Amino acid sequence: AELKDYLTRITAAPFQIQGDDRELPPDCNLISVGRTRLPAQYGIRSDQLGLEKEGFWIRTKGNCLFLLGADDDGIQFAAYEFVEKYCGVRWFFPGEHGEEVPRRETLRLPSIDDRQAPYFKRRTMALSREHKDTPIESDYWRFGRKWKLGSSLRIVGVHTWGQIAPPQVYGPTHPEYYALVGGTRQRNWTKFDGSHEYQLCTSNPEVVRLAIEWVRKFFQDNPGVDIVSISPNDGLGFCECDRCRALDYEEPMKPGELIEIRSRPHPVITDRIFTFANAVAEGVAATHPDKRLLILAYTVYRKPPRRVKPHPNLVIQYADNADFHWDPQRKAERVGMLEQWAALTPNLDIYEYYVWGGHHPARGLTPLIAESIKRFHRLGIRLFRSQSRGDFGMSGLNYYLASKLLWDPTLDADKIVNDYCDTAFGPAGAPMRRYFDRLDELWKVAVEKVGTEATPQHPAYYLASYSPAARAELKALLAQALASARTDGQRGRVEFLTKAFRYAELSVEGVEEMLELAGHGVIEIEKDKGIFASPTQIVSSKNPGEWAPAERAEARRRLDEAIQKWEERARFMDTIKGQYIIDDRYARSSDVYYRFNPLEKLREIAAAYDAVGQ
Ligand SMILES: [Zn+2]
């Protein structure tokens, strides 16, 4: 029905949907979708397509167009590919103006014989929920299908040690299952949320046995899952017992290499983690030889092992952080490690961070995305997942480019971006291409200036990339684009990105107001660059009684300016709600979770001034 809808909008010609059980009207052109009786009538053996999972075959024969798929995913992708590639439809973001449907008098098809299958078997962003058998099909997932996002493998879980040996079950009777930290087995079970800190003592054979049993039970209960995670909890807190320690290698990680261990050195525990994972994989292979286990290469076990080779049934998830690859040293380290891992195993699964906290402004990542995905392809890696959100005004082009390259990493990234600009903006394509190029360059400036010690959501990065001069330039490009746009769709898309820019501008101006207040001694702000730190956090404020009356009035006026800016940002966020410009829910929750938004605190301080009086 969606296919018919698009075709009708393109040509305004009548299309009819016919069930396979009905007689077809004579003398008309046919489109056969999926498993109908038509392929056989036309001499096509649809039971022997020879397609990989999610693959499809678009072909014409006589008066019939066939949209054939290896499976349901493939059939759906065939239909989307047909309207995109052969009819000129494009999808930029969900919602109004998010798609371009060109009008044609007649749709004349060339002879088509187009077989495709995705190179990456897992192409997952938040747009493409892997568990599509759950009842709610989110907007993101439906939209992501148009970009052919998806996965032919079902992969479940990340940090699972809390489930393998639940402390409420074994904690009281078997403290030896849990990590020895600072001379005692971890006992504060209230802190054990199942996914953070509080690790297991993996050199204990009983813990290995529990893990094997847990995995077997999991696959018994979830036979449709291909891969389940047996990875440590997030954060540190790893066991310090002699048997665990004996497997580690000492190579103090440098400051900045890892946020969690900025202050103290930590041994590399990869051999210990893979000794455990190999033992679990071997045990599980005896009963479930076709199932695989996911293990992270992360934090203090990101560096490759020195003595242990990963079991063939392990899939290793590697956090790439391509967004920081403008830093040559960081890039050399991360790429070097990835190459070492790729030499040890073909089973790598990339984890990317195209989005961090939901509140940060747009980052142009297209050169980094293109380079990194092509590198994964060269290394033979076929699984990929990135953090992403419904923030198409912020990251839409990043996601678009990644989706195209995940399907076919041999495509030319520059051509993809040009096609995006031409089809989305028409005559405004040139200034918009310049706009996106500037965003790419400005993210590079930010990384070069700030370094890689903070997480990319830290305001230091966007103070560097969205300088007043850069803001003026970006604004001018958007204005130029708006003036050049001809159709409602083109104008609507420029306006969509203009709103995204306005959000960035208000956020940066809000941060600048805080620096201003600090500069005038009204408040003291957080200077740390840790994951939860931001200069919008107020460490202390000057007692209003300490000012001379005139200075106090001046400070109060400055507070008001800052409050008004943050109120303006809040009002603006309300006006763009539900439009996929930013991810409303995630942006709001990140404001709170990362303590980015100072509005409440500013109001409290202003009230204290008012209590002192003028
Ligand atoms: Zn131990």
- pLDDT at residue 47 greater than cutoff 80: no
Q: Which tens digit of pLDDT belongs to each residue from 3-35? A: 888 888 888 777 888 887 777 777 778 888 888
Could you tell me if 536 and 588 lie in one domain? Answer: yes
Q: Give the domain CATH number at 9.
A: 3.30.379.10
* pLDDT band (50, 70, 90) for residue 70: very high
pLDDT for the residue numbered 252: 61
Number of domains in the chain: 3
Whether 457 and 601 map to the same domain: the answer is yes
Rounded average pLDDT over 449-475: 94
Distance 553 CA to ligand 1 centre (A): 61
pLDDT of residue 390: 86
pLDDT score at 438 = 98
Ligand 1 center–CA 200 separation, angstroms: 7
Residue 34 DSSP symbol: S
- pLDDT tier, 318 (very low <50, low <70, confident <90, very high otherwise): very high
CA atoms within 13 A on the CB side of 434: 13
If you measure from the C-alpha of residue 316 to the centroid of ligand 1, how many angstroms do you get, rounded to a whole number? Answer: 22
Cα 242 to averaged position of ligand 1 atoms, centre (Å)? 7
Q: For residue 197, report the distance from its CA to the centre of ligand 1, in Å.
A: 15
What is the Å distance from ligand 1's center to 307 Cα?
Answer: 18
- What's the 246 CA to ligand 1 centre distance in angstroms? 10
User: Cα of 279 to ligand 1 centre, how many Å?
Assistant: 15
Element (H, E) at 218: helix 205-221
CA of 220 to the centre of ligand 1 (A): 29
Mean pLDDT, to the nearest integer, of 238-260?
A: 76
pLDDT surpassing 50 at residue 268: yes
Rounded to the nearest 10 degrees, what angle do helices 488-519 and 549-575 cross at? 160
Domain membership of residue 111 (yes or no) is yes
Q: What distance in angstroms lies between residue 308's CA and the mean position of ligand 1's atoms?
A: 18
Centroid of ligand 1 to alpha carbon of 340 (angstroms): 27
What is the 204 CA–ligand 1 centroid distance (Å)? Answer: 7
Last residue of a domain, one of 240, 275, 309: 309
pLDDT at residue 276 is higher than 50: yes
35 and 180 share a domain? no
The answer to the question of residue 535 being in a domain is yes
Whether the pLDDT of residue 135 is over 60: the answer is no
Long-range contacts of 51-55 (CB under 8 A, 24+ apart): 51/115, 51/117, 52/117, 52/118, 52/152, 53/117, 53/121, 53/152, 54/117, 54/118, 54/121, 54/148, 54/150, 54/152, 55/115, 55/116, 55/117, 55/118
Task: Among 266, 288, 309, identify where a domain stops.
Answer: 309
Q: Would you give the DSSP letter of residue 262?
A: S
CB burial of residue 530 (10 Å; 0-12, 13-18, 19+): middle
Q: 190 and 78, same structural domain?
A: no
Do 113 and 168 lie in one domain? The reply is no
Same domain, 506 and 569: yes
Q: How far is CA 211 from CA 217, 231, 233, 237, 244, in A?
A: 10, 11, 14, 19, 17
Average pLDDT for 333-351: 95
CA of 273 to the centre of ligand 1 (A): 11
Rounded CA-CA distance 185/198 in Å is 10
Last residue of a domain, one of 309, 326, 360: 309
Q: Ligand 1 centroid vs 249 CA: distance in angstroms?
A: 15
3-state SS class at 343: helix
Q: For position 133, what pLDDT does the model report?
A: 45
- Whole-number Å distance, alpha carbon 285 to ligand 1 midpoint, is 25
**DSSP letter assigned to residue 363:** -
- Residue 468: CB atoms within 10 Å: 10
Phi, psi of 109 (to 5 degrees): -100, 140
Q: Is residue 381 part of a domain?
A: no
Q: Is residue 343 part of a domain?
A: no
User: What residue type is 269 in one-letter code?
Assistant: I
Q: What is the pLDDT at residue 134?
A: 42
Query: From the CA of 312, how far away is ligand 1's center (Å)?
Result: 25
- Look at the block and give the residue holding tokens 């060269």: 378
Q: Are residues 165 and 286 in the same domain?
A: yes
- pLDDT tens-digit readout, 302-317: 999 999 999 999 999 9
If you measure from the C-alpha of residue 230 to the centroid of ligand 1, how many angstroms do you get, rounded to a whole number?
17
CA of 318 to the centre of ligand 1 (A): 24
Task: Determine the structural domain holding residue 206 and report its residue range.
Answer: 153-309
Mean pLDDT value across the chain:
91
How far, in Å, from the CA of 262 to the mean position of ligand 1? 24
How many C-beta atoms surround the C-beta of residue 548 within 10 A?
8
Residue 401 located in a structural domain: no
* Cα 187 to ligand 1 centroid, rounded to whole Å: 14
Cα 333 to ligand 1 centre (Å): 29
The percentage of the chain sitting over the pLDDT mark of 90, rounded to a whole number, equals: 71
Ligand 1 center–CA 124 separation, angstroms: 35
Same domain, 92 and 239: no
Residue 354 lies in a domain: no
Least Cα distance to 551 among 524, 526, 576, 522 occurs for: 522
Partners of residue 318 on adjacent β-strands: 297, 350
Strand partners, 56: 69, 116
Segment 150-176, tens digit of pLDDT: 999 999 888 899 899 988 889 889 999
pLDDT of residue 125: 85
Q: What pLDDT does 24 receive?
A: 78
What b/e sequence results for 402-424 when a residue is b if at least 16 CB atoms lie within 10 Å of its CB, and e otherwise? Answer: bbbbbbebeeebeebbeebbbbb
3: three-class secondary structure by DSSP: helix
The answer to whether residues 109 and 166 belong to one domain is: no
Sorting pLDDT into bands at 50, 70 and 90, what band is 331?
very high
Q: Tell whether 457 and 566 lie within a shared domain.
A: yes
CA of 594 to the centre of ligand 1 (A): 33
pLDDT in tens, 403-437: 999 999 999 999 999 999 999 999 999 999 999 99
CA of 182 to the centre of ligand 1 (A): 12
CA of 176 to the centre of ligand 1 (A): 8
Rounded average pLDDT over 271-300: 96
Q: Please check whether residues 561 and 488 belong to one and the same domain.
A: yes
Residues 475-508: tens digit of each pLDDT? 999 999 999 999 999 999 999 999 999 999 999 9
Residue 399 placed within a domain: no
DSSP 196: B
Residue 130 predicted with pLDDT over 50: no
Provide the pLDDT for residue 265. Answer: 74
Using one digit for the tens of pLDDT, what is the confidence trace for 162-220?
899 988 889 889 999 999 998 999 876 666 666 667 799 999 999 999 999 999 999 99
Higher pLDDT, 557 or 261: 557
Tell me the CA–centroid distance for residue 271 and ligand 1, in Å.
13
Distances (CA, A) of 250 to 274, 453, 481: 16, 22, 55
pLDDT for res 377: 98
pLDDT in tens, 352-389: 999 988 888 999 999 999 999 999 999 999 999 998 88
Q: Determine the distance separating the centroid of ligand 1 and the alpha carbon of 178, expressed in angstroms.
A: 7
CA distance 348 to 314: 9
Distance 213 CA to ligand 1 centre (A): 20
Question: Ligand 1 mean position to 581 CA, how many Å?
Answer: 48
- pLDDT score of 51 more than 50: yes
CA distance 442 to 354: 16
CA of 241 to the centre of ligand 1 (A): 4
Query: Is 388 part of any domain?
Result: no
